[in-house]
């Protein structure tokens, strides 16, 4: 892993943290009655992305790390699906932020895929 001394040095982890912040800002405008429903699920899905990256890094084996990257990738898909649902339910009014988050999800997914392939080789 070269000059990587901590999971915090990983770009995929840093991008995951950035994504969490963007998601939290996006869901602030959701209806109050959704606070413990879809809003909560969206936040949890977002938080699990960098969390699983850091946990996988801490396992100290490429196989285990790869497994946790797969979980992060699944959480990205879950997050994207939940955001699409929120848009369809008209909970989202800031479409620029929505599109930015979807782009970040795509970018993070590509980065995780590339990193995962590196671990498997």
CA 109/CA 115 separation, integer angstroms = 10
40-68 mean pLDDT: 96
63-73 mean pLDDT: 95
pLDDT(1) > 50: no
Contacts 24+ apart (CB under 8 A), 22-25: 22/97, 22/100, 22/101, 22/104, 23/79, 23/101, 25/97
pLDDT(31) > 50: yes
pLDDT for the residue 80 = 98
Q: What's the pLDDT band for 85 if we cut at 50, 70, 90?
A: very high
Q: What's the pLDDT band for 34 if we cut at 50, 70, 90?
A: confident
pLDDT for the residue 4 = 82
pLDDT for the residue 28 = 94
Q: Mapped to the 3 state alphabet, what secondary structure does 33-61 carry?
A: HHCCCHHHHHHHHHHHHHHHHHHHHHCCC
CA 93/CA 99 separation, integer angstroms = 11
pLDDT(77) > 80: yes
User: 34 and 100 in contact (C-beta within 8 Å)?
Assistant: no
pTM of the predicted model, to two decimals? 0.93
The two three-digit tokens of residue 116, written as one number: 């995962």
How high does pLDDT run on average in the chain? 94
């Amino acid at each position: 892993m070269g000059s990587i001394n901590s999971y915090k040095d990983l770009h995929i982890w840093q991008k995951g943290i950035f994504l969490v912040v963007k998601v939290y800002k996006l869901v602030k405008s959701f209806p109050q009655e959704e606070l413990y429903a879809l809003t909560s699920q969206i936040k949890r899905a977002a938080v699990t992305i960098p969390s699983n990256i850091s946990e996988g890094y801490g396992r100290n084996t490429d196989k285990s790390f790869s497994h946790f990257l797969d979980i992060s990738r699944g959480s990205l898909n879950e997050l994207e699906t939940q955001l699409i649902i929120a848009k369809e339910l008209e909970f989202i009014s800031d479409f620029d932020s929505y599109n930015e988050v979807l782009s970040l999800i795509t970018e993070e997914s590509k980065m995780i895929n590339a990193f995962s392939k590196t671990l498997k080789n």
